[in-house]
């Protein structure tokens, strides 16, 4: 083959960018990698998930961005695989395809009242405050100014992010890249009480300590823990003894339980052993019915039958993310992942030639951003081994020009690396006009227009 090896990476989140990086770093192989994304902007959940007030984690964007400067790598935004182009078609234009399209749908609680107005998925709330083009602005701009009490269901880092964003003053968020309408809406909030609800005990929560601590350091929100929630059984003691992170979390939570509220305008109530069993309301959710649970000695809980009600006119469900299938791609609906062996997509236990997977859609929504690097590198190693063994298919129309001609024929306006750089410049300029580093441009049309400037 005289042309470079053509690879399509589907999804420009961390796993896609790390896969492109690994491919472009091969000294003895000429590659041409198109990182395709349905959005006009790259970086997936690093842009649209990681909390905007976590500046150092958000700055991973800069590292990912440098991959787009590597020879042979380009961003191809505003192209949705499965809509604008099928996977089967991609095989005509690329010798191999790496699926890195993430797992960003919400899991449901499966309790009565879950679909009441005012009950929202954390995925949707996070998308809104990060300025995702598909976010439902109207819902949040209606619910937040008219709410006073919020229940956040779930005890992971996303639940903490959501709680912190709702509990912070707008002054504490002013140096973020949140769109101005998000800051304005949060600035008009009358929310006074935020309840973070976990069904297990403090030793079973999956927070990272740094994120947890932040909740106790907010300018205008007291953090409140009922000492009765500090329940530990033999399994808890064991995990506290063996896992330093859990021990640190428990220390933080115990210290909170000793605090006397300082009379701040907002209160963050952190509840353990509290399982939501029903949401009740009228035209809008009004209360969460919670069953008290008891630790069962082996890391789980059992219900006690004791019910209480927590007033909440906004409920944010944060009980995990899940992947969804893509046309023509084998999918394990139970696990929400693409079946694979060492990153090779498998159909009926056999590898599909030229098809690979990495990131959340490969292993499920677990780990930190860096976990995707190791994961993507392993997948690329499988791809390169297949290439060396001569088992990769050869695309019949394998040039950049061929693929661009197909998209142009379909009337699709692609945003390339140059277009993304123009958007980047426009966001920085918009931010500078308000004394910030950057302000996110949220709507798709404005992003596309900015890409052409």
Ligand X SMILES: Cc1cc2nc3c(=O)[nH]c(=O)nc-3n(C[C@H](O)[C@H](O)[C@H](O)COP(=O)(O)OP(=O)(O)OC[C@H]3O[C@@H](n4cnc5c(N)ncnc54)[C@H](O)[C@@H]3O)c2cc1C
Residues forming contacts to ligand X in the complex (CB under 6 A) are 10-16, 36-39, 44-46, 49-50, 54, 57, 80-82, 100-102, 104, 126, 158, 161, 321, 326, 359-360, 367-369, 372
The nearer residue to ligand X, 207 or 225, going by C-beta atoms, is 207
Task: Give the integer Cα–Cα distance in Å for 444 and 305.
Answer: 48
* Strand duo 314-317 + 274-281: pairing: unpaired
Q: Which residue is nearest to ligand X (CB)?
A: 13
Task: Give the integer Cα–Cα distance in Å for 323 and 140.
Answer: 24
The least distance separating ligand X from the CB of residue 94, rounded to whole angstroms, comes to 14
Count CB-CB contacts under 10 A for residue 101.
29
The least distance separating ligand X from the CB of residue 31, rounded to whole angstroms, comes to 19
What are phi and psi for residue 332, nearest 5 degrees? -95, 95
The least distance separating ligand X from the CB of residue 412, rounded to whole angstroms, comes to 12
The nearer residue to ligand X, 213 or 280, going by C-beta atoms, is 213
Task: Give the integer Cα–Cα distance in Å for 87 and 11.
Answer: 13
Strand partners, 125: none
Q: Which of 46, 60, 52, 56 is CA-nearest to residue 100?
A: 46
The least distance separating ligand X from the CB of residue 46, rounded to whole angstroms, comes to 6
The nearer residue to ligand X, 161 or 229, going by C-beta atoms, is 161
The nearer residue to ligand X, 82 or 330, going by C-beta atoms, is 82
The nearer residue to ligand X, 144 or 358, going by C-beta atoms, is 358
The least distance separating ligand X from the CB of residue 50, rounded to whole angstroms, comes to 4
The least distance separating ligand X from the CB of residue 327, rounded to whole angstroms, comes to 9
Task: Give the integer Cα–Cα distance in Å for 93 and 366.
Answer: 32
Count CB-CB contacts under 10 A for residue 169.
17
Q: Both tokens of residue 120?
A: 């929202």
Q: Which of 256, 167, 165 is CA-nearest to residue 205?
A: 256
The nearer residue to ligand X, 84 or 278, going by C-beta atoms, is 84
């Amino acid at each position: 083959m005289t042309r470079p090896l053509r690879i399509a990476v589907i999804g420009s989140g961390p796993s896609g960018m790390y896969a492109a990086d690994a491919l472009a770093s091969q000294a003895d192989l000429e590659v041409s990698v198109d990182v395709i994304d349905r959005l006009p902007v790259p970086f997936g959940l690093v842009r649209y998930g990681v909390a905007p007030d976590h500046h150092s984690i958000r700055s991973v964007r800069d590292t990912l961005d440098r991959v787009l400067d590597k020879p042979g790598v380009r961003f191809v935004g505003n192209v949705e695989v499965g809509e604008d182009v099928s996977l089967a078609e991609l095989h005509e234009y690329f010798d191999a395809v790496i699926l890195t399209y993430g797992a960003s749908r919400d899991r449901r609680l499966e309790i009565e009242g879950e679909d009441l107005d005012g009950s929202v998925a954390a995925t949707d709330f996070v998308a809104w405050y990060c300025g995702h083009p598909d976010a439902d602005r109207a819902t949040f701009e209606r619910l937040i100014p008219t709410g006073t009490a919020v229940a956040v269901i779930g005890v992971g880092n996303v639940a903490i992010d959501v709680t912190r964003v709702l509990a912070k003053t707008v002054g504490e968020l002013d140096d973020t890249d949140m769109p101005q309408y998000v800051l304005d809406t949060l600035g008009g909030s009358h929310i006074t009480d935020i309840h973070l609800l976990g069904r297990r005990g403090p030793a079973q929560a999956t927070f990272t300590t740094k994120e947890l601590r932040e909740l106790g350091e907010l300018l205008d929100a007291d953090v409140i823990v009922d000492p009765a929630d500090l329940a530990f059984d033999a399994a808890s003691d064991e995990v506290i003894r063996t896992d330093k992170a859990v021990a640190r979390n428990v220390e933080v939570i115990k210290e909170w339980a000793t605090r006397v509220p300082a009379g701040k305008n907002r209160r963050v109530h952190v509840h353990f052993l509290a399982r939501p069993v029903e949401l009740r309301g009228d035209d809008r959710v009004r209360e969460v019915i919670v069953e008290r649970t008891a630790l069962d000695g082996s890391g789980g809980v059992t219900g006690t039958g004791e019910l209480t009600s927590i007033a909440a006119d906004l409920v944010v469900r944060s009980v995990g993310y899940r992947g969804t299938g893509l046309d023509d791609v084998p999918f394990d609906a139970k696990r929400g992942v693409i079946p694979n062996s060492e990153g090779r997509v498998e159909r009926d236990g056999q590898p599909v030639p030229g098809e690979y997977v990495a990131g959340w859609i490969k292993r499920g929504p677990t780990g930190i951003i860096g976990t995707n690097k190791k994961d993507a590198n392993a997948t690329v190693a499988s791809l390169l081994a297949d290439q060396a063994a001569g088992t990769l298919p050869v695309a019949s129309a394998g040039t950049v020009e061929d693929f661009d001609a197909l998209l142009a024929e379909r009337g699709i306006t692609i945003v390339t690396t140059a277009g993304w750089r123009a958007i980047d410049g426009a966001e920085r300029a918009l931010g500078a006009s308000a004394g910030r580093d950057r302000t996110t441009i949220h709507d798709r049309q404005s992003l596309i227009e900015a890409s052409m400037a």
